[in-house]
Amino acid sequence: MPSVVSLAELALFRRATLACAAAEQAGIPGGFQTREVDGLLIVAVGHPDLGFLSTVTGIAAPEAAGLVRLPDRLLAVKELDAPSDPVARVHEAEDEDVDAFARILLAGYEATGTIARFIEAGHRSEGVHNSLWWTEKRPSGQPR
């Protein structure tokens, strides 16, 4: 049975695959490739501003494969509790909410340029479920 970390790595890889396809469709330059090879999960991104997204996971001994091991990145898995605020509600962003979702998301990341375009393309792609936390009849994080 796969470990929780292996399952999380696979979920992140699948999300990266979706985001890379969305970035290509949005016309972001540089080239994006993802593939699974003999248990390896490979993400290759050609744009210099997005190079940090290039990864290989699923290998037990990277040095034996001629790879250089970098410091581990934080990966946390937590089941979320229900919101404690009885006035607030969380719902999936509908078509009319996606622009507000994108503004709040990019403001939270403080992302600009190519990184912002990549993040937004990934969150606007089909199959991605974006959620908004609503308080006082507006998405939380939006100016009053």
pLDDT at position 108: 86
Is residue 91 exposed (0-12), middle (13-18) or buried (19+ Cβ within 10 Å)?
exposed
pLDDT at position 84: 63
Asked whether residue 8 falls in the same domain as residue 56, the answer is yes
pLDDT at position 134: 66
CA dist 93 and 85 (Å) reads: 19
Residue 144 lies in a domain: no
Residue 39 lies in a domain: yes
Residue 38 lies in a domain: yes
Residue 82 lies in a domain: no
Residue 107 lies in a domain: yes
Asked whether residue 58 falls in the same domain as residue 96, the answer is no
Total-model pTM:
0.71
pLDDT at position 50: 93
pLDDT at position 56: 84
Instruction: List the domain range (segments joined by +) for residue 131.
Output: 89-139
Residue 131 lies in a domain: yes
Stretches in the chain below the pLDDT threshold 70? 1-2, 60-62, 65, 72-89, 134-144
pLDDT at position 143: 45
Count of structural domains within the chain:
2
Asked whether residue 60 falls in the same domain as residue 104, the answer is no
Asked whether residue 23 falls in the same domain as residue 57, the answer is yes
